[in-house]
Amino acid sequence: MKKTIYGFLFFSFLCLTSSLQAQDGADRLVGVWEPSHGKAKVKIDKIGEKYYGKIVWLREATDPETGQPKVDKNNPDEKMRSTPLRGYRILKDFQYTDKDEWTEGTIYDPENGNTYSCIIKMTDENTLDIRGFIGVSALGRTDIWKRLKVPSKKK
């Protein structure tokens, strides 16, 4: 009887620690990242159990045609075209797969209003492969994103 109880407690402990480790692994995606083109910075946060990335900085924040902050003028939904690009969630619905990958998400390209299926792979703590595709991942394009490190305050 005692062996059974100890065995159960040990098994429960193993399950708990592996779950916590998996969660820690998933949350490594959280942070501010910069695509290779350098035109924007994207902050990835967790909402519920999924991960979302929104634009927090634009190199060219103002639309030269209007003189106003850039908006989502290429959105296929006309009524949503006034959505500002700064703050726009271009990465949506990513879920961690336990292999340094986040899948089941999409990436939106405001330059053409298209949404693509997307897989994120963390190649190291500060580097992401963002692969957008239509249909199968083999038919897509990969971009390399780098983590922006927040400078620590000087004492």
Partner 1 sequence: MTLKYLKIIGISFLSIILLASCSTTETKAVSISFEAVAAGPFFEGGNSLIAESNMNLNELIGDAEIKPESIESIQLEKATITVLQMENFDAFNNASLSLVSGNSPMQSVAILNPIEGSSKTITLTTSDEAELLSFFKEGKFSLITDLDFKSDDYMEQLAVQVDLNLILHY
Binding stretches for partner 1 (CB under 8 A) = 47-50, 52, 54, 56, 71, 76-77, 79-80, 82-84, 86-87, 89, 92-93, 106
Report, in Å, the least distance between residue 119 CB and partner 1: 15
Tokens 């949503």 belong to which residue?
A: 80
Identify which of residues 106 and 137 has a Cβ nearer to partner 1 in the complex. 106
Asked if 127 and 147 count as a contact pair (C-beta separation under 8 A), the reply is yes
Nearer to partner 1, 80 or 144 (CB): 80
Comparison of 78 and 124: residue with beta carbon closer to partner 1: 78
Residue 44 or 126: the one with the smaller Cβ distance to partner 1 is: 44
- The one-letter amino acid code at 43 reads K
Q: Which lies closer to partner 1 via its Cβ, residue 92 or residue 131?
A: 92
CB of 116 to partner 1, least distance (A): 13
Closest distance of CB 44 from partner 1, Å: 13
25-53 in b/e form (b: 16+ CB < 10 A) is ebeebebbbbbeeeebbbbbeeeeebbbb
Contacts of 19 (CB under 8 A, 6+ apart): none
Yes or no: say if 58 and 70 are a contact pair by the CB < 8 Å rule.
Answer: yes
Sign of CA dihedral 16, 127, 112, 62: positive
Closest distance to partner 1 from the beta carbon of 47 (Å): 6
**Shortest separation between residue 70's beta carbon and partner 1, angstroms:** 11
The residue assigned the tokens 């692969």 is 131
